[in-house]
Structures are given as C-alpha cells and as structure tokens.
Structure 1
Amino acid sequence: MENTEVFGSVMKNRIEKTWPVAAVAAIGLTGLAACSDYDDDELQASAYSEASAEAMEERMDVIERRLDNIEGRLDTMGADGMTERRVDAYEDAADRMEDETDELEDEVD
C-alpha cells in the first residue's frame, strides 16, 4: 500500500467518525444561538432599565446635594448677607431641583 492510500483511508476514517459529531454540534450551536438571541434581548432590556434607574438615582443624589448646599448657604448667610434678589434666586433654584427630584421619583416608581 502506498503512503497516499494509507493517508487517504485514515482521513476517510476520521471524516466518517467526526461527521455526525460535527453535524450535531452545528445543529446545537444553531439552536443555542437562537436561544441566546432571545435571552440577550431580555438581558439587554433588563440591563437598560437597571442602568436607567441607576442614572436617575445618581441624578437625584446630585440634586439633593445641591439642595443641601443651597439650603446651607441660605442658613449661614441669611437674608442679611445677601441681596433679596440673590435669596430669591437660590430659593427658585431649590424649588426647580425639588420639582426635578419629584419627576425622577415618579419615573423610577
């Protein structure tokens, strides 16, 4: 028997043995890909909603810190240390931030 005949029969044997395994693997991967697409969509939606909620909570934290800062300034300086116009501006900013906080809380709920 020549080398090419031996090599050919070995390769034929390998192909005959591995073909069914490869076919089953390909079918399984196709099914897995279809399932993973479905799961990925759900996971992405879930991750998006979690990220959105986290972003809103972070925004609310920033607003609350600003409110605390404004209230602290109003308390320490008082109306005597600032013009009436400046006090009104701080109070208006605090009101706007409280409104934004309320809107964000409504969206989170």
Structure 2
Amino acid sequence: MTAKIYRPAKTAMQSGKAKTHLWVLEHEMEKPKVIDPLFGYTGSADMKQQVKLTFETQELAEAYAKRHGIAYRVIQPKEATRKAVSYTDNFRYTRTQPWTH
C-alpha cells in the first residue's frame, strides 16, 4: 500500500488560491476499477481510495505516514509564474501586432 503526498493546484474554476496551501495524503489504487456488466457503472472494492487526509504542512503528512507504516512519495508543487500584463498595452501606438477582437 503506497500513498502520495502533494499540495493541490487551484482548479480552473478558482480565481484565488483557496485550499491550495494544505497538503493532501491520498492512497494509490491497489486494485483496478471494475466495470459492472449490467449497468456499466465503474466501481472498486478499494475503500482506501476514497480517503483523502489534509495536513497543514508536508512534515505533518510525512510523520503521519511514518507513524502508520504507510509507504509514500512526495510530489513537490510547481509554483505558478505570474506575468505582468497591462490592459493599456493593447492600445499602445507602438504595438508590433495589430489589435484584433
């Protein structure tokens, strides 16, 4: 049984950074998912797949995994690069490309 520890990125529906400062410990799949032949639902007998634990820091998540004997791997977050964009640059006289709608 292995787990991954990561800090989630913001979703496409978020403009802010809510819930991106917490670290998540999530168990990886032990058994493959099975498709029900009658209804076509996808299911699994792996109950640990449904559990996501959140921690304030990476060290707390690692300590929990060590204390409970869970093998884990840490996925380091990639920091977003912010590009300074000015709205007025769209209408600049010295613009190299013509502005289009």
Q: TM-score range by the shorter chain?
A: under 0.3
Q: TM-score, normalised by structure 2?
A: 0.27
Report the structure, 1 or 2, having the larger strand content.
2
Q: TM-score, normalised by structure 1?
A: 0.25
Decide which structure has the larger Cα Rg and report it: 1
Report the structure, 1 or 2, having the larger helix content.
1
